[in-house]
Homo-oligomer: A and B are copies of this chain.
Amino acid sequence: MRADAKRNRDRIVEVARLVFREQGYDAPLDEIAKRAEVGAGTLYRHFPTRDDLVDAVMQSWVDSVDTAVDKALAHEGDGRAVLMAWLETYVGLISLHRGGPAKITTAMGDPESPIRSKCQVLAGANQRVIERLTDDGVLRDGVEPLQLCRLVGGVATVADQSELDAPTVRSLLEVVADGLVRQP
């Protein structure tokens, strides 16, 4: 890739992150192009669809998912507390910008979505948590990573759209957590 191309690409992603933070993932792409001081053509050449751009912006946290899992698994307390820690971390990750949860959950159902790779990362993270907690006898059998993605994605989507506060989100996640743990 030519040097000027890379320069432009990087600047677009940088500006996009800013604009998405301000306005959510539905922000007009033309504004991003304008603020990045490139033509619309340049933006669309680098990122043919909005989701390609969203994907590039999301890339930053992908690398931190693994350490987030480690951190949640190291949470002190019983198995359910560990699970809750992870669920809250998960919601936080995908709720970084407004519209994020919806984007992720939609992508989960669309094999063509560029954001799909992010879903795989999240599913992988869930996989790790599930394995650990199943071994510990905390989770009931048969919990699938995708199932967890969907349940928590659903809660995060509602929370994002209704701008719920943290305690309210926690009360929803607690129902999910209780539904997942092995019934005593």
Contacts and interface: CB of A to CB of B under 8 A. Distances in A.
Given A175-B180, A178-B179, A158 B150 contact: yes
Interface of A is mostly: helix
A40 interface: no
B183 A178 contact: yes
A149 to B, nearest CB: 9
B178 A177 contact: no
Interface stretch (A1-9, A71-79, A160-168): A160-168
State how many copies of this chain the complex holds. Answer: 2
A114 interface: no
B158 A175 contact: no
Interface residues of A, number: 31
B161 A158 contact: no
A175 B157 contact: no
A66 interface: no
Interface of A: 102, 105-106, 108-110, 147, 150-151, 153-159, 161-164, 171-172, 174-180, 183-184
